[in-house]
A and B are shown apart, each in its own frame.
Chain A
Amino acid sequence: MSVAAIRRALVSWEGFLLLVLVALITLNAFASPFFLTLSNQINLFQLSIEKVIVALIMTLVIINGEIDLSVASIMGLSACAFGFLFQIGVPASVAVALVLALGVFCGAFNAFFVTVAGIPSLVVTLATLIAFRGFARVLVEDRGIGDFPDWFDALGQNGLLGPLPFAMLLFFALAVFLFVVLQRSAFGRKLYFIGSNADVAAYSGVDVKRIKATVFVASGLVSALAGLLFAARVGAVRGDVALGFELDIITIVLLGGVSIFGGTGTIVGTVLSILIVLNLRNGMALVNITGHIQTGVLGVLLILSVLVPNIQRWFGSLFPRERTEP
């Protein structure tokens, strides 16, 4: 790695996020001796595992120039569908498969209205946010369903590889997979292409509708998976599983440097953003800042993250850039 490459990496958004993350971890480590313990780090990850898994796939949706507001409702619906199926006597393993299929269906439902009917995804997924949540309530009404088999609960709770829980391994596997898809595959390149200019992509022979549909279906599938993980971690489901998670998920993705207009962003950025958000929340909890205030601080951070390019440009205009190439 040459000096220029290192310099480039440092001034990139991901480099900036890395600096913030290191600063945050250092601060937190001073604030509490328990912070840096492995169990605390795993614990803070584990408690948000469903959100962060969906943030990975949301990265693709937004890069593609769309938005999926219904993810949290799909999570809720999936968790409730699992509880419902389990309660009427379907074996848990079959129920898991059926719920994943349901996630694919939900994604396809969104995709149909976005690509075939031509309704903006913001509108479609706003409506399905309400509808899918409604179906979750239809399935479990006002009950809570629990007592799942031990092997199922273990997926969300216990360590699989040493202290690493199954869900965390799943997260890293998905992150690596989506990284490869985005940065190394033709599909990934088309995704960025569509996100930066869907019309030009279509005229260049890219099957815009098919790729958009694929991304929505993937979003549905991953959201269903996250719903199952929620059910496994908590060991019970209710109609309000994952209620309101969509805002946190979108905040994480945008903070990771993904443009809301599509076409830019990386999985690395999203993963760094996830670590920042988790450590920030954990650190604030350590100094007794709670709930809505934490969310407020994240809001300020979100505005700052979109302000940074403006500040950079303004700063850059003060100091004309010197050449770094020899």
Chain B
Amino acid sequence: MKTLIARLGPDTVRVLALLLVLAAVVAFFASQIDNYFNARLFNRISTSVAIIAVIAVGQAFVVLTRNIDLSVGSIVGCVAYFLGGLVAAYPGIPAPLVPLIAMAFGMAFGLVNGFLVARFKLPSIIVTLATLAIFRSLLVEFSDGSSITTGSLPPWLVEFARIDAFEIGGLRFRWLVVIALAVVIVAHIFLTRFRAGRRFYAVGSNPDAAQFAGIDVAGTVMRAFLISGALSGLAAFLFLSRFGNITVVAGLGLELSAVGAVVVGGVNIFGGSGTVIGVLIGATLINLLDTSLVRWELVSEFWRDAVLGLLILLAVALNTLLTKRLLARPKTALPPPSTTPPPATNAAKDAP
């Protein structure tokens, strides 16, 4: 067992622990709710997970570098509104260009965050707390309270979120889902196989050491915020397509879900370790709980948030415990220091 774990590595162990929790949750609800485990569940969960997963992957890049991006909800709201206005005014824009424009918009917002955090060395939690409010007030100012409606959008955009890309045995993969999966896979390969990707881990686990090793720390942090902005922009495109109606409160509170998915997914909030596969499972887990609790007859709908919050806490506690237990092995087989979570007492100093 120990040698098997040693060979797998801590990240894989964490993902396996998460899958175990996910399986336990599915098994639990399958025993409680009639006809729970079927293709419709997959279709429903996968569609609603898609948007949050894209945002959460961007968030993961930021959190890996020991920072946090609380402004993603406002970025999604702004980009969805501006993009909606743009395609409504110029319906002739070629369809493949639209998501790219959305990502460029999002990157512009990410640039503001990145500039303040990376260049001026300001704490990201303060900067993004501020830009959360600033971007939202920009939206209010520009929209003047008006909203984007489904009717003003070109038909292809409204249809897009409802079209299946392919189907495997009743499991329907909508384009929304395919895009989200593609983002996760590309991000995973980039983070694990490319030197540029490993830099995010290096910067997060020890910024000073990374600096000495010749890594451009400020540049890496900047790139993390640009990626987070771009993916929030892409999510805004999916959001616009799925909901059609965009008001000034669009995307409000998405930052909580994104950070939630990232921490449940086992990314260390103090940087340096975690996987985007874990983040995808984290997002799925939260969404699965949320959706399943609605259908659980034993609890009324008012119990949803109460149980959800406690289960998130439980999932994180369980994951922390499992990982600690599984990774506690003889010194010779210790993983690199960067992958062990810092002791709780040390946590405060390293806060993002």
Contacts and interface: CB of A to CB of B under 8 A. Distances in A.
Contacts of B263: 123, 126
A67 B352 CA distance: 11
Interface in B299-316: 300, 302-310, 312-313, 316
Contacts of A128: 309, 313
Contact of B116 (A194, A198, A303): A303
Contact of A134 (B120, B134, B309): B309
Interface string A84-114: 0000000000000000000000000000011
A8 B270 CA distance: 36
B140 A198 contact: no
Nearest to A293: B137
Contacts of A250: 129
A118 B347 CA distance: 9
Interface stretch (B30-38, B52-60, B236-244, B338-346): B338-346
B125 to A, nearest CB: 6
Contacts of B139: 292
A310 B269 contact: no
A277 B202 CA distance: 39
B130 A302 contact: yes
Contacts of A292: 133, 136-137, 139-140, 248
B320 A119 contact: yes
A199 B300 CA distance: 45
Contacts of B321: 117
B348 A123 contact: no
A203 B310 CA distance: 33
Contacts of B100: none
Interface stretch (A42-50, A135-143, A161-169): A135-143
A3 B127 CA distance: 36
Tell me the dominant secondary structure on chain A's binding face.
helix
Interface stretch (A27-35, A147-155, A254-262, A265-273): A254-262
Contacts of A293: 137, 140-141
Given A133-B305, A137-B302, A64 B348 contact: yes
Contacts, number: 173
A201 B120 CA distance: 30
A261 B256 contact: no
Given A117-B317, A126-B256, A293-B141, A137 B348 contact: no
Contacts of A127: 260, 309-310, 312-313, 316
B348 A296 contact: no
A131 B137 contact: no
B130 A197 contact: no
A131 B260 CA distance: 13
Contacts of B27: none
A198 B141 contact: no
Given A65-B351, A119-B320, A295-B137, A260 B309 contact: no
Contacts of B302: 134, 137-138, 141-142
B127 A303 contact: yes
Contacts of A310: 120-122
A199 B346 contact: yes
Contact of A126 (B125, B248, B259, B348): B259
B132 A299 contact: yes
A130 B351 contact: no
B170 interface: no
Contacts of A115: 344
Contacts of B195: none
A181 interface: no
A254 B128 CA distance: 13
B308 A118 contact: no
A59 B317 CA distance: 27
A293 to B, nearest CB: 5
Nearest to B304: A134
A291 interface: yes
15 contacts: A65-B348, A119-B344, A121-B347, A130-B305, A130-B308, A130-B312, A131-B307, A134-B302, A138-B303, A199-B346, A260-B123, A292-B137, A296-B138, A299-B131, A306-B122
Interface of B: 68, 116, 120-123, 125-127, 129-134, 136-141, 248, 256, 259-260, 263, 269-270, 300, 302-310, 312-313, 316-317, 320-321, 343-349, 351
4 shortest interchain CB distances as A-B pairs: A296-B137, A131-B309, A65-B348, A134-B306
